Amino acid sequence: MPERGALTLIFVAALVATVPLFAGDFWVSLTIKILVLGLLALSVDLLLGHAGLLSLCHAAFFAMSAYTVAILQVRYGVPMLIAVPAGLAMGTLLALVFGVSVRTRGVYFILVTIALGFIVWGVTYRWASFTGGDNGITNVPYPAIGDFQITSMTAYFYVVLLVVLGCVLAYRTLVRSPFGLVLRGLKSSESRMRSLGYSPLRHLYVAFVLSGFMASLAGVLYIYFNRFVNPATAHFHISVEAVLMAILGGTGTILGPFLGSVVIMVLRNWVSGFFPYYMTLMGLVFIVTVLFAPNGIIGLVNSWRARRARRAKTTDAVGTEPEAQPRPQP
Amino acid sequence: MTTALTLPLRRLATIAAAALLSVPAFVGQAQAEEDEIRIGILAPLTGPLASPGQEMVWGHEMFWEQKGHTVAGRDVRLVIADTACNPDQAITQARRLVDQEEVHTIIGPLCGHEGPAVAQVGRETGLPILLDPAGADEITKWTRVPSVVRTALSASQIGHPFGDYLYNELGLRSATFIGQDYTFGHEVTLGAIQTFTELGGEVDELIWTPIGTTDYGPVIAGVPSDSEAVAVTIVGADRVRLFDAWFDFGMDHRHDIIGTYWLQEDALPQVDDRAVGLISNSLNYVAGIETPENEAFVEAYAEAHNRIPSWFAESGYTASLWAHDAIEAIDGDIEDREAFLDAVRSVEIDAPRGPLRLDEYDNPIQNVYVSEVQKRDHPVLGEILMNVPVKTYEGVSQFWTWDPEEFLERGPYER
């Protein structure tokens, strides 16, 4: 029987699955966007929350796979069954190359990833004859296998939800595996892990590539949702936003990046419709997070639960330990 | 054991309750007045082009205030959405306007690269979209969408007459070109070069400079010393930086600087009297056009916002005027999308910028004005710098004088 954590995730997914029952197309499409960018944030968080590496180049993998799919489908009429694996492969290939950046640490790692990310952005922006430059690539066809085509937003929503749920469950297994523990060990003390006989480079490289693969998957989901891609997708802003989502929701957790995605996407796409100073509000949210919830939304909930559990312990002897203690900030 | 079970259950119940509570929020949004006409406006109200975006919105609002927010007996409501000059946000906002606000038509966006993104939504939903003022050439040329028409301009449409102006009016036989390095800049600059070289002119040097260049010293140092004139296509905050660098380095003693797209009305308050006498733009609108329509427009705008309108404001105003006239022509039945689009295509508009109608590729045929900066005494604003037309090219097509088929065959302007 799967344990409580996995059940919680499935329950949350089931709740999300009810969105199309009571909300219009806009909310369905916004939920897709939240899920896709949440997945991107989760991929960033594999490095940030578990391995302690702050990567600012994940928009590159995201855009690489999106562009690959778009160019193959629009320019060369390649069917989706080939375009999607090709997109994932190109994004992951890029991660294999960019993975060399794990040889650096701390601020140098951040700088190297920023630079690498800008290379991809520059290519999408300047190689106009191939990538469409500023105008990007429009009119990506609906996802289709043979004659079976998904044209409705709601149908695609369920596809995205299933893929994201599968990915999240796999991610959960990964971070709880010995491999995940090694990553967390590296985050706490790299020298100690090395003295225990682990190879930090190899583990971090694999984590980087896996994280790049997840970002590529998010890119594929994104391109069939937007059916349009342009250099803004590869921009530094997207990488930063993914990191902010992870921090806002709570790093080192699974629901956290998605919660962060909810907050940012709703502010930007819904609140902006009736509140012109939504950017100020977003700034306030970040400040409040840093001051009062350094471990993000999930961290806040966890510490609140821990307090309750402690109180329960003093009155009731049967009380259990809280599931997770708030982790120290990277 | 009990706590272990109740804790997650209680948490899940809280989530469920929160989700249920948010239902009215979702539903409440969809409610809209039965009979009103809703026009969605996409404009960047934050980010690098927030100030032109604001002018554009003012233009729309001013028009509908003058009309009492009605057309053909129906009330009109503007639904304004912020795109932040980001195509990704533009596409989401366009979808929100369609799905949630249930608008009848969308006008916008401003930034060139948002154009194709918003056109994509037109393709998906069939909603009539008046693309205004995003300039991306391809929208009315190579990647046309049946429900998308353009009411402002194609980028190269203002470049073509300028090449002619350089050669025939200024008598130049060679020139240096400085262009902002992105699609709009490429299309305007290369459009001007196309007509200039076809007439026999030569390009001394072509310099591309990225948006957000802070130091124009190295850029202007690249101008060949024997080059007689320098034609510039520069946008945003770069316009004033180039202006300052140009005069601070004394370049004005060596070359003439001529604006293909440079000092629009919104930049004029930021430059000083050294600008007087400069050729500032080749554009479909300048505030100094002397027609009753424009003088009334400029005066009303100056009263309301204490400045003269730039082409962004006029573009917003005229796009709303265009929608208004089309809706009136079909007696308010904007729900009939085909009829509305047909009306937009067939009405002829008397805008502040002159007479307008669409060509068969859904791009306006309109005047292009080459303008000069002059000092004027304005009744409301006092002594100000103002762009005044010195040469009017009447009824300019996006294909200039070429055959459309031939132009389309040649392909887009790319650096």
CA A327 from centroid of its chain's CA atoms: 20
Cβ contacts (< 8 Å) between A279 and chain B: which residues?
Answer: 46
Which pLDDT belongs to residue B32? 55
Cα–Cα distance measured from residue B345 to residue B339, given in angstroms and rounded to the nearest whole number:
10
Give the A:B interface size as CB pairs under 8 Å: 122
Chain B CB contacts of A8 below 8 Å: 8, 12
CATH architecture of A4-255: Orthogonal Bundle (1.10)
> Cα–Cα distance between A188 and A203 in angstroms, integer?
14
**CA separation (Å) from B282 to A88, A285, B158?**
46, 45, 6
- Contact check, Cβ <8 Å, A309/B81: no
In this complex, do B1 and A318 lie within 8 Å of one another by their Cβ atoms?
yes
Tell me which H or E stretch contains B306.
none
Listed residue (A97, A98, A95) closest to A115, CA to CA:
A98
Which residues does chain A have within 8 Å of residue B98's beta carbon, measured at their own beta carbons? 26
Parts of chain A with a pLDDT under 50: 1, 319-322, 328-330
Do B35-153+289-363 and B156-283+385-397 share a fold? yes
**Taking CB atoms and an 8 Å limit, are B119 and A138 in contact across chains?**
yes
Q: Which two tokens stand for residue B3?
A: 């706590």
Give buried/exposed letters for B114-149 (b at 16+ CB in 10 A, else e).
bbbbbbbbbbbbebbbbbbbbbbbbbbbebbbebbb
Report how far residue A319's alpha carbon sits from residue B6's, in angstroms, rounded to the nearest whole number.
Answer: 11
Query: Would you identify the CATH topology of the domain B35-153+289-363?
Result: Rossmann fold (3.40.50)
The closest alpha carbon to A8, from A297, A307, A253, belongs to A253
Give the span between the Cα atoms of B57 and A164, in whole angstroms.
Answer: 39
Q: Per the CB < 8 Å rule, is B96 touching A273? A: yes
Q: Which of B88, B95, B117 faces A26 most closely, judged by CB atoms? A: B95
Q: What are phi and psi of B311, to 5 degrees?
A: -65, -20
Q: CA B294 to CA B356: how far, in whole Å?
A: 14
What ipTM is given for this predicted complex?
Answer: 0.80
Amino acid at site A61 = F
CB contact at 8 A, A265 and A34: yes
Dist. CA B42–CA B85, nearest whole Å: 10
Q: What are the residues facing B351 on neighbouring strands?
A: B354
Contact at CB, B26 and A270, closer than 8 angstroms: no
Give contacts of B5 with chain A, Cβ < 8 Å.
none
Partners of residue B96 in chain A, C-beta under 8 Å: 26, 30, 269-270, 273
Per-residue pLDDT tens over the stretch B107-135? 999 988 899 999 999 988 999 999 999 98
For chain B, state the CA radius of gyration.
24
For residue B256, the SS3 value is strand
Cβ–Cβ gap A23/B26 under 8 Å: yes
pLDDT under 70: residue ranges of chain B: 1-33
Residues 209-248 of A with CB under 8 A from B: 226-228, 230-233, 237
- The span from the CA of B187 to the CA of B415, in Å, is 9
* Angstrom distance (rounded) from CA B312 to CA B290: 18
pLDDT for position B237: 87
Decide: B307 and B281 in contact? Cβ < 8 Å.
no
Question: What does the pLDDT look like over B359-375, one tens digit per residue?
Answer: 999 999 999 999 999 99
Inter-chain touch A272–B81, beta carbons under 8 Å: yes
pLDDT single digits (tens) B240-281 = 999 999 999 999 999 999 999 999 999 999 999 999 999 999
Nearest CA among A92, A209, A70, A188 for reference residue A139: A70
- pLDDT at A223 (0 to 100): 96
Residue of B nearest to A18 (CA): B19
* CA–CA distances in Å: residue A77 to residues A7, A140, A233, A255, B143: 41, 10, 22, 37, 17
Min Cα separation B96/chain A (Å): 5
Residue-level pLDDT at B327: 96
On the CB side of B122, how many CA atoms lie within 13 Å of its CA?
A: 28
Record: contact A232-B86, CB cut-off 8 A: yes
CB spacing of B95 vs A27 below 8 angstroms: no
Q: Structural domain boundaries of chain B?
A: 35-153+289-363, 156-283+385-397
Compute the nearest-CA separation of A185 from chain B (Å): 28
Distances (CA, A) of B124 to A2, A180, B98, B346: 42, 43, 11, 24
User: Which residue is it, tokens 């194709």?
Assistant: B116
Residue B238, amino acid: D
A135 contact residues in B (CB cutoff 8 A): 112-113, 115-116, 136, 138, 183
Instruction: State the number of CA atoms in the 13 A half-sphere of A244 facing the CB.
Output: 16
Report the gap between the CA of B88 and the closest CA in chain A (Å): 7
Question: Choosing among B54, B77, B96, which should be mutated to test the A contact, i.e. which has the most A CBs within 10 A?
Answer: B96
Instruction: Determine the residue of chain B that is closest to A309 in CA distance.
Output: B3
Is the Cβ–Cβ distance between A165 and A39 less than 8 Å?
no
Going from the C-alpha of A330 to that of each of A45, A49, A327, the distances in angstroms are 11, 7, 9
The domain segmentation of chain A, as residue ranges, is 4-255
Classify residue A191 by burial, with Cβ atoms within 10 Å: 0-12, 13-18, 19+. Answer: exposed
For chain B, report the end-to-end CA distance as a whole number of angstroms: 70
Burial (CB count within 10 angstroms: exposed 0-12, middle 13-18, buried 19+), residue A139: middle
Topology of B156-283+385-397 in CATH?
Rossmann fold (3.40.50)
Q: Which of B5, B11, B57, B92 is the mutation pick for testing A, counting most A CBs within 10 A?
A: B92
User: For residue B291, is it left (φ>0), alpha (ψ between -120 and 50) or beta?
Assistant: beta
Distance CA(B337)–CA(B130), nearest Å, equals 12
Cα(B246)–Cα(B302) distance, integer angstroms: 30
Q: How far apart are the first and last CA of chain A?
A: 33
User: Would you state the structure tokens that stand for residue A118, as one six-digit string?
Assistant: 């800008």
* Residue numbers in B near A12 (CB within 8 A): 15
